[in-house]
């Protein structure tokens, strides 16, 4: 499984996403939209909005949080094949 995380240093939701991936030992590539030329525009082109974090899981773009609800732990666990006990 290939996982890419589009994030930025200043983004608290991005830190939550990284912590979640690391706690579950999910290998990922991080793309900082502030430091990577064209990355912010790529997020807009692919999702139609300026919203990070964004995960790309085996080519599928997924927003791992919902405004007002926070990080979608159960949904992300299911998408990533994590068995919560």
Give the model confidence (pLDDT) of 4-29 as tens digits: 999 999 999 999 999 999 999 999 99
| Percent of the chain at pLDDT exceeding 90 | 92
So what's the pLDDT on residue 67? 86
Would 53 be classed as within a structural domain?
yes
Determine how many CB atoms are found less than 10 A away from the CB of residue 51: 15
So what's the pLDDT on residue 85? 53
At 32-66, the pLDDT tens digits run 999 999 999 999 999 999 899 999 999 999 999 98
CATH code of the domain covering residue 23: 3.40.30.10
Would 85 be classed as within a structural domain?
no
Q: Greatest CA span in the chain, whole angstroms?
A: 40
How far is C-alpha 62 from the geometric centre of its chain's CA atoms?
A: 7
Gap between the Cα atoms of 47 and 26, Å rounded: 23
For residue 10, give the DSSP letter. T
Distances in Å between the Cα of 80 and the Cα atoms of 42, 50, 76 are 23, 24, 6
Q: Is the pLDDT of residue 84 over 80?
A: no
Number of domains in the chain: 1
């Amino acid at each position: 499984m290939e996982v890419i995380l589009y994030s930025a240093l200043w983004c608290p939701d991005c830190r939550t996403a990284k912590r979640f991936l690391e706690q579950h030992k999910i290998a990922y590539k991080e793309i900082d939209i502030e430091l990577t030329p064209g990355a912010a525009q790529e997020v807009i082109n692919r999702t139609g909005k300026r919203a990070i974090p964004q995960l790309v899981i085996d080519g599928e773009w997924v927003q791992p949080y919902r405004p007002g609800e926070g990080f979608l732990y159960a949904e992300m666990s299911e998408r990533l094949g994590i068995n919560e006990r």
